Structure 1
């Protein structure tokens, strides 16, 4: 199963440069890296990244994360994937820009 992380450009560049990331400031504060499922990702973008351009949508296959991935209740009681270790560049399945068009993030076909 693929899960999704939205990175700001500088966060994505740091992951590419360092090879690992502990995520965005909210991830550091919470002690885990927040991910979303395909169904959750558009709402995550709207809630936490409204109006922000220059974002990257990063996908990770859950099979690569092992026991460090926990499914925990969050928004509205829905289970969200949380990673309790650094994200490694080799964990990334694919990444692509998440463009902002007319105020809405444009997710790849079949995702949103």
Structure 2
């Protein structure tokens, strides 16, 4: 099973749980897809886009469950990143982890399985 990850605010994720679907962040809406990262990309994504932010979740998603709506496209450093063109069905979510913020604004990234 392929696993991808989404970092999002706790409040946005709680709203997704209430609605039964995650529609993405404002950045996702602007870009026309939901941004995800692989296990190897999560640390840099957290540093670049979420530094200093608190109350974040790291959402673990079964990439295979997303079907044709998931596309792998070149982005930062010419790496392939997973982009979901559509809503995230919460049935594809395997785990939701708290992403703890350190005093220096960085985050404790758990050891992740690809």
Q: Shorter-chain TM-score: what band?
A: over 0.9
Contact persistence 2:63–2:92 (CA under 8 A) = no
Tell me how far apart the structure 2 counterparts of residues 93 and 110 of structure 1 sit (CA, whole Å): 12
Match of 2:97 in 1: 96
What is the TM-score with the length of structure 2 in the denominator?
0.93
How many residues are matched? Answer: 111
Contact persistence 1:73–1:79 (CA under 8 A) = yes
Tell me how far apart the structure 1 counterparts of residues 7 and 110 of structure 2 sit (CA, whole Å): 13
| RMSD value, Cα | 1.1
Tell me how far apart the structure 2 counterparts of residues 107 and 100 of structure 1 sit (CA, whole Å): 9
* Structure with the larger strand share: 1
Segments of structure 1 that go 5 or more residues without pairing to the other structure are: none
Q: Residue deviations 1:47-98, cap 9 Å, x none?
A: 0001001100001011101111000000011100000110111111101100
Match of 1:85 in 2: 86
What is the TM-score with the length of structure 1 in the denominator?
0.94
Match of 2:111 in 1: 109
Contact persistence 1:33–1:82 (CA under 8 A) = yes
* CA apart distance, 1:101: 1.6
